[in-house]
Structure 1
Amino acid sequence: MLDIAEELHRWAEEGRDFAVATVVAVGGSAPRDPGAALAVDGGGKAIGSVSGGCVEAEVYELCVQALADGRTVLRRFGYSDDDAFAVGLTCGGSVDVMVTPVTTGTPGRPALLAALSAAAGGGPVAVARVVRGPAGLLGGALTVRPEEAYEGDLGGGRELNRTVAAEARAVLDSGRTGTVDLSEDGSHCPGGLTLLVEANVPPPRMIVFGAIDFAAALVRAGKFLGYHVTVCDARPVFATRDRFPGADDLVVDWPHRYLRRTEVDGRTVLCVLTHDAKFDVPLLKEALRLPVAFVGAMGSRRTHLDRDRRLRDVGLTDTELARLRSPIGLDLGARTPEETALSIAAEIVAARRGGTGVPLTGSVAPIHHEGEGGERGRVAAA
């Protein structure tokens, strides 16, 4: 739902009633992850998507029905063996969709509108909703911001609200949307309640070190993937807005010094394109000891071997060096800056999603890889 928060917030500000259909669980080759949403307002206008086209018409009708009767419903869509053109996912997967009316008098409306307002403004926020459990709790919502009291009520008592708020903050810290299992009394007991916790956090960071032509292409690729992109170089003549108009930030500083003072987290991507030992070695010594998602460095195989030796000389261990992706990028036969940026971006996506990087043609591996914990979108309870 938070993926279309800006438009839904505008609808709410205009006083419109609407129903929102949210993907709460997926299996197999379903095209969208949990949290993807489609919404329909009282005038029949639709925004968003839950399947990329496979079941949109049926979900649209469920939203219209929810607006009419005020009921939250949960529906599973899967592949139709008898008729591939019937309502179902012809890609072979399955998707569970919860349809919730957000109208005047809807119990969960205040919490949902608070989440939409925060997300539309770009602030960190999580919203937890009951997607499986007693009928009286289905669709109940709780909105949580960092270090603030929760808003809303799940309908299961104060202890449940407090437990879910704590779980939602943990999901918010991770920046991932997923489901959490609890018992009705708020303890961790699979089979009691299942909650979808959607997290809205600022975009992950991509920091590109080295203001070269390849960096300009990688900035464009990073922005396309949704990263907040910073370019850092110690040479002011190269780190200019004219050369990097698409970068969110331009920093003129020694790379290792900047990395020491800037904020990074478990979603941050570091791309070292300088391939110059005086920059690379002190930078990578810092980078490979940070809890970031990806550290890659450009250079030939000879450069890599020399860099590896120098990094060992300054004290990096085998375990730390094993985190370095060098030479950076997948083997696409890339030559131009744009092709090279594509190969780097492809490796970043593969590392994030657990992909192999091999062609799908002739492969029997799943197209959509499972998330952590063995199920797409499931978050392990703390």
Structure 2
Amino acid sequence: MLNFGSELRPWLDSGRQLAVATVVAASGSVPRPVGTSMLVASDGAVLGSLSGGCVEGAVIESALDALATGRPRREHFGFSREDAFAAGLTCGGELEVHIAPAGGDGDDGGLPPALLSRLAAIGPQEPVALVRRIDEGGWGTLLVPDPQQFHAAGWLPELCRLAGSGAAARSAAAQLSVLLPSGGSGVLRLPSDVDGCTGEPPTLLVETRLPAPRLLVFGANDFGAALLPQARLLGYHVTLCDARPVFARQPRFAAADEVAIDWPHRYLAAEAAAGRIDSRTVVCILTHDPKFDLPLLRTALDLELAYLGAMGSQRSHRQRVRDLLAEGVRPEDLERLHAPIGLDLQAATPAEVGVSIIAQVIASRNSAATGQPLSARSGPIHTPAAGAAAHRSRPPAVVLSRPAGENLALTRA
């Protein structure tokens, strides 16, 4: 439900009956993760999407039924070759969708209007966690305003009310103490302490939103200007840092959330000391100048970062490694450095280099991702593939063609 953002308030103020459909389980190839919600009004209007169109029609129908009965329900969607007209995921994945009316006090399975109103008042970048019980044995919700500061003991009474038993509450507290500070979301199945219980244990759906992770770009140059808007598209809070005011204050860096004019290593050390650098932080060093790079890398390699990359040729990086080793940097620490920075996309322009860097940042978050880093390449890193130069030198031609018996069509060569 945290994906609605500022769009939620007008829907709550419309006076219509509302139902919330939320993905509570997903397997295989599915377009949206657990926790994604869609809002359905009594007149059939919809806010959001669960599958990109595959199951929305059936979800709307179930949501209208839930509004009519005032009771929540659970729907399963998959792929069936036997019934080509059944609602399902053509990509072969499976979804479990929990559908609940927005009404009542929450004890009957509905979502309390007061909870939705509180969610609508929370800014889209503010941290928050929402915990909902979604099994048939009980209902309720819990809003945690600061997931990174979650302390299990302080929430035990609320969790006991939500989970229905002391053992389940303690289990929930232990799991949430790990899940919430890290920004995790998912479904928790809790143990039941009722002797002889044969039913399903309590089930909690957890959604967490942390402050936007930071991406620091060091180097006010063409590559930095191209990288800033791409990083913001991924939801990063982006900072550009350069020690040279004449470069850093140029309008082309306006896409940054903030611009810092300082020596890079000094700025990074100060931000780390202030607690504004964490394990989700991405650092991209584009200065390509040893007097900036070396002290900055020494500082960065002492920090726990999500990603650290530095621009430069294979030759300049080898010299950089020698210099850092001579200054006492451990070889195992250098293994965390992505240099030359980026994936091998045969990038040439600053915008293309920005894409290769962002692609590597994304790949570094997923151990299953594939892609050849430039650091694994031997020889020059700029060797455009055949035809690439010609492709960049002229735009693709637009050809007008009229196939026999058809109207005029536009095709792109």
TM over 0.5: yes
In the alignment, what sits opposite 1:250? 259
* One-letter identity of the residue aligned with 2:164: G
Q: Report the TM-score, using the length of structure 2 for normalisation.
A: 0.78
1:172 aligns with 2:173: no
Please give the secondary structure, in 2, of the residue aligned with 1:353: coil
1:46 paired residue number: 46
Query: What is the distance in 1 between the residues matched to 2:15 and 2:278?
Result: 38
Equivalent position to 1:288, from 294, 301, 305: 301
* CA gap 1:119/1:259 in 2 versus in 1, 3 angstroms: same
Structure 2 CA distance, aligned partners of 1:264 and 1:50? Answer: 34
After TM superposition, give the deviation of residue 87 of structure 1 in Å. Answer: 1.1
Q: Secondary structure at the match of 2:40?
A: strand
What is the 5 A alignment of 1:107-186?
107=107, 108-109=111-112, 112-113=115-116, 116-117=119-120, 119-120=122-123, 122-132=125-135, 135-137=136-138, 139-146=139-146, 147=149, 153-154=161-162, 156-157=164-165, 160-161=168-169, 164=172, 167-168=175-176, 170-185=178-193
The alpha carbon displacement at 1:194 in A equals 3.1
Q: Which residue of 2 aligns with 1:273?
A: 286
> What secondary structure, in the 3-state scheme, does the structure 1 residue paired with 2:244 have?
coil
Q: Aligned partner of 1:164: which letter?
A: A
8 Å CA contact retained: 2:106, 2:140: no
Aligned residue number for residue 374 of structure 1: none
3-state SS of paired residue (1:40): strand
Cα shift at 1:161: 4.9
Q: Is 1:352 aligned with 2:365? A: yes
Larger Rg: 2
Aligned equivalent of 1:237: 246
Q: Which residue of structure 1 aligns with residue 209 of structure 2?
A: 200
Which of the residues 211, 217, 224 maps onto 2:220?
A: 211
**Which amino acid letter does the alignment assign opposite residue 125 of structure 2?**
G
User: What one-letter code is carried by the residue in structure 1 that aligns with 2:353?
Assistant: T
Taking a change above 3 Å as real, the CA distance of residues 2 and 311 of structure 1, as seen in their structure-2 partners, is: same
Percent of residue pairs bearing the same amino acid type: 47
Does 1 or 2 have the higher relative contact order (CA < 8 Å, sep 6+)?
Answer: 1
Change (3 A) 1:305 1:208: same
Structure 1 residue 208: deviation in Å?
0.5
Q: Secondary structure at the match of 1:22?
A: strand
Cα distance, 1:184–1:12 mapped onto 2, change above 3 Å: farther
For residues 37-67 of structure 1, give each alpha carbon's deviation from its aligned partner in whole angstroms, at most 9, with x where no partner exists: 1111233220111111111111111211121
Contact 1:207 1:230 in 2 (8 A): yes
Structure 2: tracts of 5 or more residues without a match? 195-199, 373-413
1:220 matched to 2:218: no
Contact 1:270/1:294, CA 8 A, preserved across alignment: yes
Question: In structure 2, what is the Cα distance between the partners aligned to 1:97 and 1:217?
Answer: 40
Residues 106 and 193 of structure 1, relative CA distance in 2, 3 Å threshold:
closer
1:299-378 counterparts in 2 under 5 A? Answer: 299-358=312-371
Aligned equivalents of 1:259, 1:192: Cα separation in 2: 47
Structure 1 residue 310, shift from structure 2 partner: 1.6
Q: Which range is displaced more, 106-115 or 197-206?
A: 106-115
**Secondary structure of residue in 2 paired with 1:309:** helix
Tell me if structure 1 keeps the 8 A contact 2:180–2:208.
yes
Residue deviations 1:253-274, cap 9 Å, x none? 1111111122111211111111
Q: 1:254 to 1:343 in 2, by over 3 A?
A: same
Shift of 1:130: 2.4
Aligned equivalents of 2:307, 2:114: Cα separation in 1: 35
Q: 2: CA distance between counterparts of 1:294 and 1:326?
A: 11
RMSD after superposition: 2.5
Structure 1 segments unaligned to the other structure (5+ residues): 360-382
Contact 1:178/1:197, CA 8 A, preserved across alignment: yes
> Residue 115 of structure 1: CA displacement?
5.6
CA distance in 1, matches of 2:23, 2:43: 23
Instruction: For 1:259 and 1:301, locate their aligned partners in 2 and report how far apart those are by CA, in whole Å.
Output: 25
Quote the residue 2:26 is aligned against.
Answer: 26
TM-score (norm 1): 0.84
2:125–2:212: 8 Å Cα contact kept in structure 1? no
